[in-house]
Amino acid sequence: MKFIELAPGTSVKGEKIVAFKSELDAPKYNYILGAVHGDEVEGAHLAKKIHEWLGETSEVNMPMIIVPVVNVDGYKAGTRVNGNGVDLNRNLPSAQWTPEAREAKYFPGTAPLSEPENKFLVELFEKYPPRFILSFHSWYPVINYNGACKELADFLATFNKYPIEADFLTHPTPGSLGEYGPQILKSPVLTFECPVLSDTVTLDSVWKENEEAFKKMFTTKIIETFKS
């Protein structure tokens, strides 16, 4: 499967936000996003590994957009928030967006879509409409789905045995991609929460734990059954 590098976005601090598109064009695209929270390196690693594998395999050819590291400034600094101290996963213009934050690390910005990283994402969404979005995070191992992608959550869980949740009732996420995707883009969103690095968890172990699941997800073409 062949990819081309798109014109990059620009972060708060002027860093390039690199994005890749499959050579295959289509009315709608499947997205993979990593490191929306800059300190969640586990998800960036999975996004990069999947991109690497897709670029090497001849088994898959589908319309794709991949942004391995959305929050470039936070990724370089090791911080959840971007260069303005904003949680990008609370800054999207969903119906639930609020200027209030339960904690400083969830600061949603001065207005919805105030941040250049999210403006770049929305530009991609508008130019290459999503039919499905896979966003990698790390918290505790759990598969969170929003919109009509429960079958994919179930499919992945057969491999890694992660629990599945439709909504985090005790952990509201106003202004998140999980809200914005189904509401505004009419696209299901699967938020894949990786286990956090520890003495026993490494980037390599996170990939190995999920490698078969993600490769089968693409080769069985379960994504293509979605009706967004």
Rounded Cα gap, residues 203 and 119, in angstroms: 29
Rounded Cα–Cα distance for residues 219 and 164 (Å): 22
Q: Please tell me the distance from the alpha carbon of residue 109 to that of residue 98, in angstroms, as a whole number.
A: 9
CB 11 within 8 A of CB 72: yes
Lowest pLDDT segment from 12-16, 48-52, 76-80, 169-173: 169-173
Which of 9, 70, 83 has its CA nearest to residue 37? 70
Cβ atoms of 134 and 32 within 8 Å: the answer is: yes
- pLDDT tens track for 103-121: 999 999 999 999 999 999 9
How many Cβ atoms are within 10 Å of 23's Cβ, its own excluded?
Answer: 11
38-93 residue pLDDT tens: 999 999 999 999 999 999 999 999 999 999 999 999 999 999 999 999 999 999 99
Give pLDDT tens digits for 206-225: 999 999 999 999 999 788 77
Domains and CATH numbers, the chain: 3-225 (3.40.630.10)
User: SS3 breakdown of the chain: % helix, strand, coil, rounded to 5?
Assistant: 35, 20, 45
Phi and psi at residue 65, in whole multiples of 5°? -130, 130
pLDDT band at 172 (very low <50, low <70, confident <90, very high): confident
| Averaged pLDDT, 98-107 | 95
Structure tokens at 180: 């914005």
